[in-house]
Structure 1
Amino acid sequence: MLVGMNAQRKEKSVRTFQNENGFTLIESLLSLVIFMVIISITTSSLSAFVKRNHKQGSLNHLEWDNFINEIQEEANTSSNQTVYSELLIFENSYEVPSSYQKYGDIVRRQVLGVGHEIVLQNISKIIFKKNGKNQITVKVVDLNGNIFEKNIRLFIN
């Protein structure tokens, strides 16, 4: 009798174990593929939507903010600044010059007169102007005629 009860328990536990349903590898892979297709369609449609809202020839505001932040950081760490109408040169404590200037319809950054780091695009005009000892005004006109202007404070040591 005891042996029969143990056999019934084993049989019962085997049956419940066999009745448990789970995901197979094929089901998991199929759901992963469907998820990836949905994500790729969503991202491509969003990027097309963003490009459609951005006017051709206009300056990107995020690009402008990054440009101003980069100039402000270089101004804070520079020991000397030279300002021409379309050229801005910062010299660090090791006397290594880095310059910002218009090149075609972009503004590029160069270090030691070499390199080609694009910092702004779709630019028709840029003007740098030194206001006193501790301020530089940056004025940019994009290809659509929109004007962006910012004053950069110089921290003199």
Structure 2
Amino acid sequence: FGFAFLVTFLKLGFSVLSGAIALALMVLPIIIRTTEEAIRTVPDDYRQASLALGATRWQTTSRVVLPAALPGVVTAVMLASGRAVGETAAVWLTAGGALKLPFSLHDPTRPMTLHLYYLAAEGLSLERAYATAAVLLVLVLVVYSLAIFFRQKFGMKRR
């Protein structure tokens, strides 16, 4: 989808922008589903109490439900970010596999996972491959650890 629509049909070419849009479209269902679940976990008593005090449905949603569900939304975004870090195919097919660093959103780039594959496959610079793998591992661990931290800090409980 990303290659056919973004690169070919919209003629964005291999670029950081194409890769970012493709990743955003890939993680959007995760964010939406987890956000829905976070909103569902807000007790109905909160809604009923707000409506009983004379608040409109919009005021109840914006001032009671969404602030109560915010930790779940933050967790959803962090989990989706962790998933996006590990995506290779979508970024490779939309952002390309250039060796140089991008200087604008329209320049091609290379995902770290593809860079790791190339380094390991050529076998000449295994220490760089291990360093890239370590950076990826630490990045994913930090994102997931932050998601767990925020879930525990704000009391987001699993069903």
Structure with greater contact order relative to length (CA < 8 Å, sep ≥ 6): 2
Structure with greater Cα Rg:
1
- TM-score, scaled to structure 2: 0.28
- TM-score, scaled to structure 1: 0.28
Higher helix share: 2
